[in-house]
């Protein structure tokens, strides 16, 4: 009897104790800002753990069913024992994972190299979605951030919450805007809020840090897509001087096999210039293509990120969203025509007008119905002529004598006096 009670007590402890014990805590934790993103949206993650070594090439994004990592624009930084990571996500829907691999970390005193996986999805919706680059900011002075609306035209409010500096901008779908902020005088971490998004801003006293304030910016800020080996791909990219001084002797370099024209140029303040970039892909290329194109000026440079996924068939090539669309203000392209005007050359999209005329506006020609009237008259003439010939043929079927007799008879009938009945029955004599 006692043995039975002891057995029940032990069994109860074994069942209940695990439920009362505190949950186990993972040695590494990945926290995403959300679980589902739109294509090309900016993913942000905070990573905590006792890492012995962690580098950017240890943090990868995989699409389920594809054995190799997806090419993305990304970066990370460590601030006060927290790793901040961001990535511009691929333009493909599906189930994805953020994976930390080939890194070393300690767990209860033991050195481990296990993969750390955090799942998320990419799904297109009609909700507001923004892409911003960078996803965190490290600066020792003023800085800028690039913002793009992915699903529709919308207004955005950017505010540095601790300083109160605020910017209101209007975003045109798929058109990237560059917004500048003055140097925050508050040390440490502050928050830049863009609508519902939060971007950490870290200020530093390190005079060598100048990561977020280049005077030259590329539009778009990246080139990406799916390509095949052994081909060449052409892109038209805009380079703009957003700094406070004119820049001369700008040259270009790349760690890719790229042809860039013009090879050298000067840009005044707020001046823009198009670059023709041709990227040649080797026939022997087997891995995804990652690299950058740099605009060099003095001892500074600005970068255009390039990331391609290699596919086997030309039918799978997808460069959607990678070529720059020249959407400028209408006054920079040509002129806006009136509702009753046409363009003599051709139309082009613009920021402030749905269509902008690249040539001269000309009055629309009024609808000309003269040809319809002419056709109607011509048909009427043919009808009259046809009727005339019909009558002539009918008359020709009788002899001339018969025709004359008929006409004489009709004439006599017309000339014969018509008497009424009262006139015939009246008394002609005198009474």
Distance of CA 178 to the CA centre of its chain: 16
Estimate the share of the chain in helix, then strand, then coil, as percent rounded to the nearest 5: 20, 40, 40
Please tell me the number of Cα atoms within 13 Å of 25 on its side-chain side: 8
Burial of 293-332, coded b for 16+ CB within 10 Å and e otherwise, reads: bbbebeeebbbbbbbbbbeeeeeeeeeebbebeebbebee
343 contacts: CB under 8 Å, gap ≥ 6: 334, 337, 357, 358, 359, 360, 361, 362
Task: Show me where the domains of the chain are located.
Answer: 25-125, 137-213, 216-325, 331-363
Matching fold, domains 25-125 and 137-213 = yes
Tokens of 175: 């058109």
Sheet holding 51-53, edge to edge: 51-53, 104-107, 110-112
pLDDT in tens, 157-211: 999 988 889 999 999 888 888 888 887 877 888 999 999 999 999 887 654 444 4
pLDDT in tens, 206-235: 544 444 445 788 877 778 788 888 888 888
Rg, Å, the chain Cα set: 42
In contact, 247 and 173? CB cutoff 8 Å: no
pLDDT in tens, 367-391: 455 556 666 777 777 776 776 666 6
Give residue 176's pLDDT.
Answer: 83
- The answer on pLDDT for 149 being more than 90 is yes
What CATH fold (topology level) applies to the domain 216-325?
Immunoglobulin-like (2.60.40)
What does the mean pLDDT of the chain come to?
78
What CATH fold (topology level) applies to the domain 137-213?
Immunoglobulin-like (2.60.40)
Give residue 388's pLDDT.
Answer: 65
For the 25-125 domain, the top CATH level (class) is mainly beta
């Amino acid at each position: 009897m006692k043995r039975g009670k002891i057995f029940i007590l032990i069994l109860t402890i074994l069942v209940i104790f695990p439920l009362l014990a505190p949950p186990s805590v993972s040695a590494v934790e990945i926290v995403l800002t959300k679980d589902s993103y739109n294509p090309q949206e900016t993913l942000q993650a905070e990573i905590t753990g006792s890492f012995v070594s962690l580098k950017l090439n240890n943090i990868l994004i995989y699409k389920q069913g594809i054995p190799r990592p997806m090419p993305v624009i990304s970066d990370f930084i460590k601030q006060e024992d927290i790793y901040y990571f961001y990535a511009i996500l691929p333009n493909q829907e599906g189930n994805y994972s953020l994976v930390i691999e080939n890194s070393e970390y300690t767990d209860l005193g033991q050195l481990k190299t296990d993969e750390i996986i955090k799942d998320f999805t990419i799904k297109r919706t009609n909700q507001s979605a923004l892409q911003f680059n960078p996803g965190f900011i490290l600066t020792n002075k003023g800085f800028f951030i690039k913002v793009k609306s992915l699903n529709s035209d919308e207004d955005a409010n950017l505010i540095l919450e601790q300083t109160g500096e605020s910017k209101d901008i209007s975003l045109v779908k798929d058109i990237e805007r560059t917004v500048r902020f003055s140097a925050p005088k508050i040390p440490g971490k502050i928050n830049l809020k863009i609508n519902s998004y939060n971007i950490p801003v870290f200020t530093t006293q390190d005079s060598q840090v100048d990561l977020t304030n280049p005077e030259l910016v590329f539009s778009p800020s990246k080139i990406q897509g799916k390509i095949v080996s052994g081909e060449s791909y052409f892109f038209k990219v805009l380079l703009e001087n957003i700094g406070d001084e004119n820049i001369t002797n700008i040259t270009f370099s790349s760690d890719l096999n790229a042809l860039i024209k013009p090879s050298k140029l000067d840009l005044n303040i707020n001046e823009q210039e198009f670059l023709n970039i041709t990227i040649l892909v080797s026939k022997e290329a087997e891995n995804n293509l990652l690299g950058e194109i740099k605009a060099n000026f003095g001892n500074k440079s600005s970068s255009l990120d390039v990331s391609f996924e290699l596919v086997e068939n030309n039918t799978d090539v997808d460069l959607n969203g990678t070529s720059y669309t020249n959407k400028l203000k209408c006054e920079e392209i040509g002129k806006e025509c009136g509702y009753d005007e046409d363009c003599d050359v051709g139309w082009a999209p613009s920021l402030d007008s749905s269509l902008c005329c690249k040539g001269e506006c000309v009055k629309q020609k009024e609808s000309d119905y003269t040809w319809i009237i002419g056709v109607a008259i011509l048909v009427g003439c043919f009808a009259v002529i046809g009727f005339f010939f019909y009558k002539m043929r009918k008359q020709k079927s009788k002899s001339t004598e018969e025709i004359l007799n008929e006409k004489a008879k009709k004439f006599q009938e017309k000339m014969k006096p018509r008497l009424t009945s009262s006139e015939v029955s009246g008394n002609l004599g005198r009474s």
